[in-house]
Structure 1
Amino acid sequence: MLFRLELNDVLSGALARATRAAQGGELSERRRVKVDVLDELLRTVDVRLHAVATCELAQDAVLVFPAQAAALVHFGLEGEGLLELETGQRAIFRAGEVVIVPGGAQATMAAPGEGPRTFSTIMEGSRLDVDGLLRFTAGDGATVVKTVCAVVSPSYAGGLDLFQHLTAPLVQESGPGLAPAFELMLGETREPGFGARTVVEAAMRLILLLVLRRHLAEPGVAGPLFAGLRDPRLVRAVGAILRLPGGFHTVQTLAAEAGMSRPVFAERFSKTFGQTPIDFLQKVRLRHAARLLQVTPLPVKTIAESVGFASRSHFSRAFRHAYGLDPTRYRRKFAPEQT
């Protein structure tokens, strides 16, 4: 099940103002460009959660998470846990903290300490609670570590992978004001009722988005989730696409925006973001089109033109390839009131 979250202009504007204030007033032109791009990114963060589950571990248990492409996120609800990748990186997390585990490697979770351990995979000892909330239990005895976890794949405007530079578990305090969200999740996992999964997922998305916002706000975008945005030249090119996805963009115009030669820009962009500039441009355009299909009654031809496609047929083919449905069926499924 996919969940799209759009941060509104008020939230984004507030972040930009707070960042400017933290920098002591007026920003350099380079810093202002980056803040404006981060503002755009916040508006278009797309958070997708899959396989939401509760994990409960006894002191003698080790829970094994098989390797998968997407990242895994845990929200600590009770106790203190140790997450370790098969590559050797490890992290301690506590109740009220979020830990993001990069994809591509097997991970284990246990309570810190010595003594004999029983290993089990996430599918052993699993059961469905009320309303389809999956629960994994491992070990004998009382629960000493409890998390809510999900496979998560955020992206920038449907185009950039936030976690591609993450190589070790990242532990992040949830920050002030989010204790009620953790308490809500804890209550729903203790006594799940009707709509429990929906409530838990909503709380998870809120906490995760605010964690991402914190990384966006770090001076110089120092956080590992945003390593790809450290080059101000690439930031200018990404910003040009995000601000006007339907504009006339080519590798040459984007290279000029970045102040780089065409071949150097193309190589640097592909190496940094794992895709060509044109591939990223198309993903952003299609993401913007999907949003317009959901929230406006504009004809498909008009939407296609507004996001930079010369013909409806070309747009429809590209949209179907990206979303699995043609634009009309996508609108009928996700925004029937617009049909």
Structure 2
Amino acid sequence: MRADDLPVTAAAADPSPPPGPVVTGRYDQGPGYGVNRPGGSDSWLFTFTLGGCGLLRQGGARARVGAGDLVVLAPGTAHRYTVAPGVGRWRFWWTHCRARPSWTPWLAPYAVSDGLYAVPAVPGALYERIDAAFGRMLADARQDARGPAGSAPSAPDPVAVAHGGPARELALCALEEVVLLAAGARTAPAAPGRTPRPAPDTDARVRRAEELIAADPGAAHTVRSLAESVALSPSRFAHLFTLCTGRSPMRALREARLRHAARLLEVTDLTVERVAAASGFISPFHFSRVFRERYGVPPGTYRAGERR
């Protein structure tokens, strides 16, 4: 795939970038610009607004974004994004890629719906660092496209693709910096109409339950067993955990198991069935289905993409 092959405005039949490469661009668009993917995308989409205003929709949820806002769309759900109505321009960075499993907990408190994460405007100092990180991603991807014998174009394309090797890893490291700066070190505000969410570190019992899940995601954890480990009733524990983290205990456990499974696929040669069992999934068929929902590809395809 080349940057030249990517559509500016996607129609229903236009494919999204595949999840393997890291595709990065910087756009300055006016009224009428829009991307519509009724079938969703095979890859994650990260957008960081530099100026103007955009409107992003994932399923029935929407996010109106301005300067300093980071919005992330997960794969597999219908989405569209446009210059916001009544606004002259939308200047933004965007990246399509396969998200690293470790990013999910940082984004989870900012979930607007399943698959749409909206992190509100970052402070000025972080804005500059995030802008610079995206700039490094674009520069590294351009270098990857030229290759050792290539020459820089006279007018650099606003889109570049890092296919693999050092360029792809450098791009993912820069994007990890973006996610960590914007979301990982902040406390999510409450959504309109909801009770403000305490910071995740306000209750030691919730922290202890999260540590137990992280230490052994494949163990036979239940709401009751986790509640007993922190001396709470199951109902009180489930309420407190959800209030502090924005996720139910079982959803947090499933996310931890999927991250663990992704890591095993990346670094071991275990069969998909054994990865499923080691990660706490009783049925390999159920595992394959939920893994694809989260990462956009089946486990075997994910492993093959990580080892290219």
> What TM bracket, shorter-length normalisation?
0.5 to 0.7
Residue 270 of structure 2 corresponds to residue 298 of structure 1: yes
Residue 173 of structure 2 corresponds to residue 206 of structure 1: yes
Query: Matched residues in 1 for 2:136 and 2:306: separation?
Result: 33
Of 122, 134, 148, the residue aligned with 1:171 is 122
Letter paired with 2:48 = H
1:216 deviation in Å? 6.8
CA contact (8 A) 1:62 1:118 kept: yes
1:170 match: secondary structure:
coil
Q: So what's the TM-score if we normalise by structure 2?
A: 0.54
Query: Matched residues in 1 for 2:102 and 2:111: separation?
Result: 12
CA deviation digits over 1:73-109, x for unaligned, max 9? 2264xxxx23366999764x4xxxx531477997746
Which residue is 1:161 aligned to? 108
1:162 deviation in Å? 4.6
CA contact (8 A) 1:101 1:170 kept: no
1:297 deviation in Å? 2.0
Which residue is 1:148 aligned to? 93
Query: Matched residues in 2 for 1:177 and 1:67: separation?
Result: 26
Which residue is 1:23 aligned to? none
Of 209, 212, 235, the residue aligned with 2:207 is 235
Query: Matched residues in 2 for 1:174 and 1:67: separation?
Result: 28
Distance 1:286 1:186, change over 3 A: closer
Which has more radius of gyration? 1
Please give the root-mean-square deviation of Cα atoms over the aligned residues, in Å. Answer: 5.0
Residue 38 of structure 2 corresponds to residue 73 of structure 1: no
Letter paired with 2:108 = D
Distance 1:321 1:101, change over 3 A: closer
CA contact (8 A) 1:229 1:235 kept: yes
Residue 292 of structure 2 corresponds to residue 320 of structure 1: no
1:260 match: secondary structure:
coil
Distance 1:273 1:192, change over 3 A: same
Letter paired with 1:198 = A
1:235 deviation in Å? 2.7
Query: Matched residues in 1 for 2:130 and 2:65: separation?
Result: 28
Letter paired with 1:163 = Y
1:292 deviation in Å? 1.2
CA contact (8 A) 2:224 2:234 kept: yes
1:241 deviation in Å? 0.8
Distance 1:264 1:163, change over 3 A: same
2:26 match: secondary structure:
strand
Query: Matched residues in 2 for 1:326 and 1:56: separation?
Result: 35
CA contact (8 A) 1:63 1:108 kept: yes
Question: Pairwise mapping of residues 106-125 of structure 1 onto structure 2 (< 5 A)?
Answer: 108=83
Q: So what's the TM-score if we normalise by structure 1?
A: 0.51
Query: Matched residues in 2 for 1:336 and 1:212: separation?
Result: 24
1:318 deviation in Å? 2.0
Question: Pairwise mapping of residues 176-255 of structure 1 onto structure 2 (< 5 A)?
Answer: 179=132, 182=135, 185=138, 188=142, 190-192=155-157, 196-198=160-162, 205-214=172-181, 218=185, 221-222=186-187, 224=189, 229-232=200-203, 233-255=205-227
Query: Matched residues in 2 for 1:154 and 1:248: separation?
Result: 25
Q: Aligned pairs, how many? A: 242
Which residue is 2:148 aligned to? none
Query: Matched residues in 1 for 2:64 and 2:103: separation?
Result: 30
Distance 1:156 1:265, change over 3 A: farther
- Could you list the runs of 5+ residues in structure 2 that have no partner in the other structure? 1-17, 57-61, 74-78, 143-152, 191-196
1:331 deviation in Å? 6.9
Distance 1:118 1:300, change over 3 A: closer
Letter paired with 2:200 = L
Of 261, 268, 280, the residue aligned with 2:233 is 261
